[in-house]
Each structure stands twice: as C-alpha cells, then as structure tokens.
Amino acid sequence: MGLSGTVVKRIKWLEDGILADGARVYTDFRPAAGQVLSVRLDDPDRRSGILPAPGPLDIVYEDLDVIVLNKAPGVSVHPGPGHFDDTLGNFLLYHYDEEGETADFHPVHRLDRGTSGLMVAAKHPHAQEVLKNQLHTDAFRRVYLAVCEGVPEPPAGVIDAPLGPRPGSLMEQMVRPDGKSARTRYGVLRRWGDRALVSLELETGRTHQIRVHMAHIGHPLTGDFLYGTEDRSLISRPALHSGYLSFLHPITKEKQQFAVPLPQDMAGLKL
C-alpha cells in the first residue's frame, strides 16, 4: 500500500488499525491469497490542538481523503498570535464536526493570509504524506495569477534568485547570494494600463517567493505593503491568487484539476 513508517507506527497500536478479514493483525502479518487486508487511515484522535470554530468555507471538492478549498483573502491558514479561532484550520474542523467526521487538519501546502485561491488539505496523514511528496514535481501543479506594477520584459521568463531573511526584519525576505535557491516562472497574460496580469509557477517553495521575485525584477505586486507600495484605494492586499491546482489523488492516483476565477478585488484592477 506504500504506507510510510510514520503512518504504520500510528495505526499499529489501534484495535482496528490493521485487519485481515475483519480480525486484528500486526505489522509482521503476511496475507494469504484471497484474504482482505484493511488499514485505518482516518484520525483516531486530533493532535493538532486546533479549536473548531464556525466560519466561511468555499469548498470546491471533497471526498474521504482530500478537500480542495477556495481560500478567501484575509484568512490565515493556521492559528497563530492574534488568530486562534478565525483561521481556515478552525473552520475546517468545525465543518468536519458538522459532517460527523473525525479528520484533523492536514494541510499539504499553505497560502499567505493575503493570498486567495485554491489549496488542498488531506483528511488523514497518509494522504498528506503522499501529496507532500508530489510538491515541486510534475504531479503537483499550481498556477498563480497576480497583478503587478508595470509590464515585465521579456514577457515570459524564469526568475532564478536565492532568497533569505532580511536582517533586522521578522517578516521580510530578500534576494541574497547566501540564500536558498528559488526559481519562479512567469508569463504576461495581458496588459492592464500601467499594470499587467501575469501567471506564475513555483519551482521551489520559499517564503514570499513570488512577491520578492517580482519586486526583484522591478514589478512588485499591486498592493504589496512589504515589497512594493500599499494603496488601499486600489486593493487592500497583495494582488495574488492561486487560480489553478492539479495533483494525483493520493489513493486512486487519478489526476485531479481545479480552476477558480479572479476574485472581484483583483478583477477590478483592470478598470
């Protein structure tokens, strides 16, 4: 079944963790031809410590193993200082409770608080591990849409610039020769006056990678208060949206693909 050692360690102590024809067996069991082997993948208890709390969820797709969400801008993915009960994790666990599911919060990747759009969370550790192993491979694809200041030239290319923390800042990242390797592919989709709508794909997954790379080439994202110029009369966040997501289903191995349109605050920038 391709279960990791971590998952096996979690389930082998459960009464219904590993069953052969409905009877409990252990990790050294070797099934005979015709026997039915079943493994419990869902969470026997929640270990994340996240408090379920009601809140808006835009569910794009859901099954027993994964859930795909269209995250609203301004919503954090994980609880943290100042946001203990108003995050995607809180809302998702409340949704699971309402549906009678025991699943915990198993995010596969994350979006910054100001970023909107598609993200996938697993419903059990095995699905999470399988999907995380797909990250930054051809099996897992994310296409971001952004509005930037100015129009990049050339209209398509790869930004290859290492990133690391900016000294003296708790939040900012910067291009620095001793940073971690970072590559972003971009392409101009259309020109909106003095701005451009661009598509972006990450070959690596560094903190604020798209925002820093676009600022590095002289085209910061519209509304980016850290790496560009904030103008709340235009948009109250960095204009970045996860518009397309595809991956191989962790159980069936079938390709799953999803797309959502630009949110209203970004679409309004073309006017």
pLDDT in tens, the chain (271 residues): 566 666 666 666 566 666 676 777 766 677 778 878 777 676 667 778 899 999 999 999 999 999 999 999 999 999 988 899 999 999 999 999 999 998 999 999 999 999 999 999 999 989 999 999 999 899 999 999 999 999 999 999 999 999 999 999 999 999 999 999 999 999 999 999 999 999 999 999 999 999 999 999 999 999 999 999 888 889 999 999 999 999 999 999 999 999 999 999 999 997 5
Q: What total of structural domains would you count in the chain?
A: 3
Assess whether 151 and 127 both reside in one domain.
Answer: no
Name every residue whose Cβ is closer than 8 Å to that of residue 195 and which is 6 or more positions away in sequence.
147, 148, 149, 150, 151, 222, 269
Assess whether 57 and 71 both reside in one domain.
Answer: yes
pTM: 0.86
On the 0-12 / 13-18 / 19+ scale of CB atoms within 10 A, 107 is buried
Scan for tokens 């102590």, then name that residue: 13
Assess whether 149 and 235 both reside in one domain.
Answer: yes
**Residue among 85, 86, 112, 265 flagged as catalytic:** 112
**What residues form DSSP beta bridges with 247?**
256
Please give the Cα distance from 93 to 102 (Å, whole number). 9
Assess whether 113 and 181 both reside in one domain.
Answer: no
Assess whether 117 and 152 both reside in one domain.
Answer: no
Name every residue whose Cβ is closer than 8 Å to that of residue 25 and which is 6 or more positions away in sequence.
18, 19, 37
25 lies in which domain range? Answer: 1-40
Assess whether 131 and 203 both reside in one domain.
Answer: no
Q: Quote the tokens at residue 235.
A: 């948009």
SS3 call for 55 = coil
Assess whether 232 and 152 both reside in one domain.
Answer: yes
Residue 269 included in any domain: no
Assess whether 102 and 127 both reside in one domain.
Answer: yes
Assess whether 97 and 114 both reside in one domain.
Answer: yes
SS3 call for 119 = strand
Active site residue 112: yes
Out of 80, 101, 135, a domain closes at 135
Torsion region of 65: left, alpha or beta (phi above 0 gives left; psi -120 to 50 gives alpha): alpha
